[in-house]
């Protein structure tokens, strides 16, 4: 690792930090240190990092805005890669929007609305980056990324830079091909449609009001913890099981939205995992439903 670290610092790969606490990089404010955190600022640096790690046979983990991720208390071994400010951009070209992987998905929906483009309204309350949204096929309000996706530039684990079209992404509910074929999204292009600015703004405002009223964004959280089972809602099952307000340490099943777990102070990853296990077993016993986690659990256990 010392030789790799020296080469990372000598090569044009971006910022390199050792033993960096990842609680500073996740919306849950939870997570131990990364052995090494690298923040490349452009595609060339990103490609260089991935190729270097492949040569040294060192594992890597991609970190976006940390809004859908639970990092273990022991942290992440190997290297964590977080696309930096050079990936934080959006550009409009007619009804197409090109965005870097680090760009806020919420901000993108707002900017699209100001451009009079419809199709991204569902993203108005999804915290996270464009890269994370594509990776997870993020969605809400009956729509998701797959409905507007055109292409993405991706650095595969081999270090090869490729462009994937929609038929290569294998989108399904909260899933993309990158779950099986590791890679880091550098940018994405979405196909939108011309719309009425006032109608778009009204829709965005209503979605925002609903989320502020029903979801606990005043406390650190990671969005929905479990996927909705077919023809049902995880929050309904968890609430019906009487689990709202259940605590483990400083982690709590939100009293506002049962499919959120909030950090009320100094919650640990183990606290969250304990609640997740209790929720899954209780819902299984009560309703015979296996809840599938939506959050990504990463790091040394």
Structural domains of the chain sorted by starting position, each given as residue range(s) with its CATH number in brackets: 2-82 (3.30.43.10), 88-200 (3.30.465.10), 216-298 (3.90.78.10)
User: CA-CA distance, 248 to 260, in Å (whole number)?
Assistant: 14
Q: Is the dihedral of CA 194, 196, 201, 207 positive or negative?
A: negative
Name the one residue in this structure whose structure tokens are 């930090």: 17
Q: Catalytic amino acids? A: 174, 224, 294
Q: In angstroms, how far is the first alpha carbon of the chain from the final one?
A: 21
Per-residue pLDDT, 218 = 87
Is 127's pLDDT higher than 90?
no
75-94 pLDDT, tens digit each: 999 999 999 999 999 999 99
Residue-level pLDDT at 215:
85
Q: What are phi and psi of 226, to 5 degrees?
A: -120, 150
Residue 245: how many other CB atoms lie within 10 Å: 10
Contact 116, 197 (CB under 8 A): yes
3-class SS string, 162-204: EEEEHHHCCCECCECHHHCCCEEEEEEEEECEECCHHHHHHHH
pLDDT at 211 over 90: no
């Amino acid at each position: 690792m010392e030789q790799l670290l020296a080469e990372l610092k000598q090569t044009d790969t971006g910022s390199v930090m050792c033993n960096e606490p990842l609680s500073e990089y996740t919306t849950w404010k939870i997570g131990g240190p990364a052995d090494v955190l690298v923040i490349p600022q452009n595609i060339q640096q990103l490609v260089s990092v991935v190729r270097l790690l492949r040569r040294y046979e060192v594992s890597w983990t991609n970190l976006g805005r940390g809004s859908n991720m639970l990092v273990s208390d022991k942290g992440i071994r190997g290297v964590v890669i977080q696309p930096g400010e050079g990936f934080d951009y959006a550009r409009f070209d007619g009804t197409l929007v090109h965005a870097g992987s680090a760009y806020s998905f919420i901000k993108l929906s707002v900017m699209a609305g100001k451009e009079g483009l419809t199709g991204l309204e569902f993203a108005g309350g999804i915290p996270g980056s464009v890269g994370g949204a594509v990776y997870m096929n993020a969605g809400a309000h009956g729509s998701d990324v797959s409905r507007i996706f055109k292409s993405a530039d991706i650095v595969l684990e081999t270090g090869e830079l490729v462009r994937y079209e929609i038929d290569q992404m294998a989108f399904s509910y909260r899933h993309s091909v990158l779950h099986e074929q590791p890679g880091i999204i550098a940018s994405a292009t979405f196909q939108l449609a011309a719309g009425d600015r006032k109608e778009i703004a009204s829709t965005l405002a209503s979605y925002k009001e609903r989320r502020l009223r029903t979801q606990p964004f005043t406390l650190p959280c990671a969005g929905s913890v479990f996927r909705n089972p077919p023809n049902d809602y995880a929050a309904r099952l968890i609430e019906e099981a009487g689990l709202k307000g259940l605590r483990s340490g400083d982690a709590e099943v939100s009293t506002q939205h049962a499919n959120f777990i909030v950090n009320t102070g100094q919650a640990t990853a183990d606290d969250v995992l304990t609640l997740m296990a209790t929720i899954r077993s209780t819902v299984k016993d009560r309703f015979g439903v296996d809840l599938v986690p939506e959050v990504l659990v990463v790091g040394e256990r």
